[in-house]
A and B are shown apart, each in its own frame.
Chain A
Amino acid sequence: MLSRNIRLLSRRYSQAVTFRTTESSPYLADGEKGAGKSLTLAHLLHFAHEDGFLIVHIPWVSDWLRRLPRDKEMSNSQSREGFVDIPLDAAAWLLHFKMQNQVLLKTGDLKTSKEYVWSKRESTPAGAPLAELVEHGIARVKYACDVIDVLLKEIKLLSNAKKCKTFVAIDGFNSFFYPLTRLSTPTKKKVAPEEVSLTAPFMEITKNDWTNGAIVVTTDQLAVPEDRQENYLPKYLLYQKGFEHLDPFVPMEIGRYTEREFLSCASYYRDRLWLRGPPELESELKLASACNPYNFMELCAPL
């Protein structure tokens, strides 16, 4: 809805596209609260979709790890000892993945490489289309987390084999590195993100060891609780472990609005009849919101 500088985004995106000759380094979008990281990611997703990338997108990691415990359904993972599963969220993500990649899953040549046995009576044969794997995960919620694991491994193999180009977009990546989550095992023991079975596949896919794809990740202050929200810089938010995991990455600082961006946003609001009043108001709003996009949006709401 807000219009950022399209030239900046196109430049970044073309960098992402051309960068992936040998190994792809992740791009890290960081910025203060309300600077526009999630919306920048949304713009990039749109470009990726238009270009025919296979999209692996987590809208907000903290939804999995930090939502209220009473709304969560957690279970002990079957395939891995001591790990916690979040079956409903995993199934919901598989549905989201299917929706985003409908076209590619139907027409593309994406097949699994090995056979996967889920139980005595259920198995996915080698050479089956990826869509079948995704359907299985959605239908059988119990195996959804394992399906995601397998799916992301297959996607890596397919990208390396140049069968498809992948665009990985994760919002709130630093939530994977905060020491505690709000989840707990069925015996009420608190769980760290490493012990959640959903973190491992996404850690694998953000490593630099595969080609033919682009990775864009954001770190957000709001992804972690208030006691770790002093700073927005990536080294602070990602902890040592996360920083080393993503290293080397290309940092993209998402700053506040420039003059042109501010004027374009204000004129967009006027065009949509959201903002009205004399033109002097632009300078007032610029000072009151300090050109922070979120604050500007909040200030314009009642006017």
Chain B
Amino acid sequence: MNSIRYKLSGVTCSVLQAANFRPAYIQCRLYSGPTSFPDFFKNPIFRKEEQAKLIEINELSKLAISPVKPPGVSETSSVYYDPLVNKLINHVMKMGKKQLARELVEKAFENVKRIQIERYHLASSAEAKAKIILNPKDILHQAIENCRPLLQLLPIKRGGIVYQVPAPITEKRSLFLAIKWLLDATNDKERTIHFPQQFAWELLDAANNTGKVVKRKQDLHRQCEANRAYAHYRWQ
């Protein structure tokens, strides 16, 4: 993965240029901070499909004899493993309360499922029924897809004035912004409505390309378009 780093008055941004780019959120770096394992320990391969790929190219035997870090608790080889859901649960978590975060997200998925099943049964024609997505994880993927910004605004100081300059955005950062905006919109809720209910509504709105979060993304894009003139401020 080639990355060209620019340093512009204290602001660093990197531009990714790689031919076969692997999505950043499924990367191997499982532990965010330093761990007790030395650096030469390899990351674990816990998915059956990836192990099968390694077996084909005869790499698995080499990995089996080298030292390997253990996978985290939520990294399973289950059929229902989804790294995006894990990332979402981590973002929802506060004060290290992982169980609570997980329960909230699971309840939100259940609410999404109930609403979608009700819509499915109320839909009259078969085509309308076919359009309704029933799997809550698919709804989540669609929602995140629709909420990702394509550019970001960076504050750059020229001649004493700080300009908001449109700049490219990495995949990781856009994913982070999408999840953060979704959670911000959810926490902006009424006091009597519980988090899973509001989160379910936000997800369904975003998957439908409506709602507060998608509006926020579109506002950002409009702002970037408006500040197009300052784009050259990224380079001196």
Contacts and interface: CB of A to CB of B under 8 A. Distances in A.
Interface of A: 272-274, 276-278, 280-281, 284, 301-303
Given A272-B117, A281-B79, 10 more contacts: A276-B135, A280-B79, A281-B80, A301-B106, A301-B107, A301-B110, A302-B105, A302-B107, A302-B113, A303-B109
A297 B117 CA distance: 17
B120 interface: yes
Of A274, A278, A301, A302, most buried by chain B (CB within 10 Å of CB) is A302
Nearest to B78: A284
Given A281-B80, A284-B79, A273 B117 contact: yes
B134 interface: yes
A303 B120 contact: no
A232 B172 CA distance: 50
Interface in B7-32: none
Given A284-B78, A284-B79, A302 B134 contact: no
B149 interface: no
Interface residues of B, number: 14
Given A301-B110, A302-B110, A302-B136, A277 B117 contact: no
Nearest to B117: A273
Contacts of B79: 277-278, 280-281, 284
B106 A302 contact: yes
Contacts of B106: 301-302
Contacts of B78: 284
B109 A302 contact: yes
A-B complex: 10 closest residue pairs judged by Cβ atoms: A302-B106, A302-B109, A301-B110, A281-B79, A302-B110, A273-B117, A280-B79, A273-B134, A278-B79, A276-B135
Interface string B96-140: 000000000111011001000100100000000000001110000
A274 B117 contact: yes
Given A302-B109, A302-B110, A302-B136, A277 B120 contact: no
Contacts, number: 31
28 contacts: A272-B117, A273-B117, A273-B120, A274-B113, A274-B117, A276-B134, A276-B135, A277-B79, A277-B80, A278-B79, A280-B79, A281-B79, A281-B80, A284-B78, A284-B79, A284-B80, A301-B106, A301-B107, A301-B109, A301-B110, A301-B113, A302-B105, A302-B107, A302-B109, A302-B113, A302-B136, A303-B80, A303-B109
Nearest to B108: A302
B215 to A, nearest CB: 28
Of B79, B120, B136, most buried by chain A (CB within 10 Å of CB) is B79
Contacts of B136: 302
Nearest to B120: A273
Contacts of A301: 106-107, 109-110, 113
Interface in B62-91: 78-80
Interface of B is mostly: helix
A224 to B, nearest CB: 25
Contacts of A272: 117
A284 B81 CA distance: 12
A301 B134 CA distance: 13
Of A274, A277, A284, A303, most buried by chain B (CB within 10 Å of CB) is A303
A272 B113 CA distance: 12
Contacts of A284: 78-80
Contacts of A281: 79-80
Contacts of B113: 274, 301-302
A284 B80 CA distance: 10
Contacts of B109: 301-303
A301 B109 CA distance: 8
A166 B107 CA distance: 41
Of A272, A273, A277, most buried by chain B (CB within 10 Å of CB) is A273
A273 B79 CA distance: 18
A303 B81 CA distance: 11
Nearest to B134: A273
A280 B80 CA distance: 10
B49 to A, nearest CB: 13
B47 to A, nearest CB: 14
B110 to A, nearest CB: 4
Of A272, A280, A281, A301, most buried by chain B (CB within 10 Å of CB) is A301
B21 to A, nearest CB: 29
A272 B109 CA distance: 16
A284 B79 CA distance: 8
B194 to A, nearest CB: 15
Contacts of A276: 134-135
A276 B107 CA distance: 17
A266 B135 CA distance: 16
A1 to B, nearest CB: 14
A184 to B, nearest CB: 31
